[in-house]
Amino acid sequence: MRYISTRGGAPAVSFLDAVLAGMAPDGGLYAPARWPPLGLEPRRVATSHYANVAAHALKAFAGDDLSADEAAQLAGDAYIDAPPDPRDGAWRGKWPEAVTPLRQVRTADWLLELFHGPSLSFKDVAMQLIGPLYDLALQKRGARLSVVCATSGDTGGAAVEALKGRERVDLFVLTPKGRVSDVQRRFMTTAGAANVHAIEVEGDFDACQAIVKGLFADSDFAARAQLSGVNSINWARIVAQSVYYQVAAHALCAHGGVDFIVPTGNFGDAYSGWVAKQMGAPVGRIVLATNANDILARALNTGRYERGASQATLSPAMDIQVASNFERILFESLDRDGAAVGRLYARLAQSGGFDIPPAALERLRADFAAAHADDAETLQTMAWSAQDDAAICPHTAVGYAARSKAAGALTGGPVVFLATAHPAKFPETVERATGERPPLPRKCADLFARPEKFDSLPADAKAVQRYIRERSRAWS
Ligand SMILES: *Cc1c(COP(=O)(O)O)cnc(C)c1O
């Protein structure tokens, strides 16, 4: 399988090259040259082991880069801590419910719980697959990597859990000092692994992100450090996230469509649902639920994609103004005209916005709808959900609140809400809304007793470069 750039100006590359590179050299993102079928009968998706569905999705997108056996080993490592039994090839261990349980909350409403991974957010589902995938890819090439990420939220903890102790990867996580919650920070600082480096930067998230962009832009440094990213544009994350849409859609509905309500920031998760649909999953409409940072809701409802000022909200993982993965769906809605995508993004860079061409907008609206909820609505929704059923995290609450606003866009089939974080990851907000502080699940109940290890650096690219140079095993 070959991967092409959404801006049409870079050579096609293989699956592993697309995964390890992150962005294409022309500034675009990678998309598969064609949409492969999942290669598993609908009936089997609904009854199969989660890891088996993941192995098929991985093999479909990897093409010749991975054998079916390797894909199965990786998915087994990620989701059941065990490969298929060599005697009969059968998958044993945890069943799908244990990876992404689907729970009925009302007559036709379901909650897809994506927060049962080690750092309690949906980022774990994809990152758990990226860990073993990187190890295998680097082993094949005899190479090492320095993975760098700037995070204000859940990506850091998920990356630490997935990459700690990996033979060929050193991880550098930059977080803005004092801007992440205690729970989020501790998932980054308590791994106790020599290859994990948590760095607290004396600056805000934009400063962290600017430093990381600068590291990648310094081509000499990037090459010597073998720099790579695991942010939400990483193709392997999209593939991994498409799997729970497959499993949930097939479990609920073999014929019509299942509508999904997706708390959205960088548009990675929502786009993964669209990818599952291209592979044959019975997905109806995907509703983008945004907080006050509502660029996507405005784009879909008005046709104008325009950057606004970023606001801090109670759902911080969605405080994003430019949704990176939106470029991928724009590419599709423009009939894969990379030059047209390039022109629109040049306009965005120059003037902060662009108009989506009418034909493209119509196509987007066939698959997506959008609505936003502010902090007051988020708190209200958390309060009634706790009374009615169970505590939910603020991101999930934005989804609940968006549903009634987007009711006209639903297709009438079952509705699945994506629950993107465990409520215990945002204890202050849950307590404020419901009066009760949610306890951490047993597997990480000792989070506050674990020793923390992190270093502090000024918001200075040179200082961060020096830090990485001294510690990365990939440096040459
Ligand atoms: C990252 C994140 C989101 C947003 O996901 P995108 O793929 O960026 O749209 C929503 N909720 C939580 C809890 C997250 O960590």
Name the β-bridge partners of 400: none
> CA angle, 336 as apex, 335 and 340 as ends, to 5°?
95
118, 125 Cβ separation under 8 angstroms:
no
3-state secondary structure of 296: helix
Ligand 1 center to 267 CA (angstroms): 8
Q: How far apart are CA 280 and CA 246, in angstroms?
A: 8
State the pLDDT confidence band at 82, using cuts at 50, 70 and 90: low
- CA of 393, closest atom in ligand 1: 13
% the chain with pLDDT above 70: 96
pLDDT in the model for residue 198: 97
Q: How far apart are CA 321 and CA 319, in angstroms?
A: 7
- Residue ranges lining ligand 1, Cβ < 6 Å: 121, 123, 153-154, 232, 263-270, 317-318, 395, 420-421
3-state secondary structure of 250: helix
pLDDT in tens, 36-56: 999 999 888 988 889 999 999
Q: Is the pLDDT of residue 152 over 80?
A: no
pLDDT in tens, 169-181: 999 999 989 888 8
Active site (catalytic) residues: 123
H runs (alpha helix) in 253-357: 268-278, 295-302, 326-333, 338-351
CA 45 to chain CA centroid, nearest Å? 22
Class of domain 124-231+446-476: alpha beta
pLDDT in tens, 213-231: 889 889 899 999 999 988 8
- CA of 421, closest atom in ligand 1: 13
Between 5-19, 35-49, 426-440, the lowest mean confidence (pLDDT) is in 35-49
pLDDT in tens, 365-388: 999 999 999 999 999 999 999 998
Name the residue of 112, 122, 239, 372 to mutate for ligand 1: max ligand atoms within 8 A of Cβ. Answer: 122
pLDDT in tens, 335-365: 999 999 999 999 999 999 999 999 999 999 9
Q: How far apart are CA 158 and CA 212, in angstroms?
A: 18
pLDDT in the model for residue 399: 97
pTM of the model: 0.94
CA-nearest residue for atom 2, ligand 1, is 317
pLDDT in the model for residue 322: 82
pLDDT in tens, 83-132: 566 666 666 665 555 789 999 998 889 999 999 999 999 999 999 999 99
Ligand 1 center to 287 CA (angstroms): 14
Name the residue of 125, 205, 260, 269 to mutate for ligand 1: max ligand atoms within 8 A of Cβ. Answer: 269
Structure token digits, residue 358: 């009418």
Q: How far apart are CA 425 and CA 407, in angstroms?
A: 29
Across all residues in the chain, what is the average pLDDT?
93
pLDDT in the model for residue 90: 66
State the pLDDT confidence band at 432, using cuts at 50, 70 and 90: very high
Q: Please give the CATH architecture assigned to the domain spanning 102-113+236-434.
A: 3-Layer(aba) Sandwich (3.40)
What average pLDDT does range 455-473 have in this prediction? Answer: 97
Same fold yes or no, 102-113+236-434 and 124-231+446-476? yes
Tally: H helices and E strands in the chain: 20, 16
* More confident position, 168 or 321: 168
Q: What are the extents of the domains in the chain?
A: 102-113+236-434, 124-231+446-476
* More confident position, 17 or 256: 17
pLDDT in the model for residue 93: 61
pLDDT in tens, 265-286: 999 999 999 999 999 999 999 9
Q: Is the pLDDT of residue 70 over 90?
A: yes
pLDDT in the model for residue 113: 95
Between 109-123, 305-319, 458-472, the lowest mean confidence (pLDDT) is in 305-319
pLDDT in the model for residue 437: 95
pLDDT in the model for residue 256: 74
96, 41 Cβ separation under 8 angstroms:
no
Q: How far apart are CA 332 and CA 315, in angstroms?
A: 29
Ligand 1 center to 263 CA (angstroms): 7
Ligand 1 center to 234 CA (angstroms): 14
**Residue 54 neighbours by CB under 8 Å, 6+ apart:** 75, 78, 79, 129, 240, 243
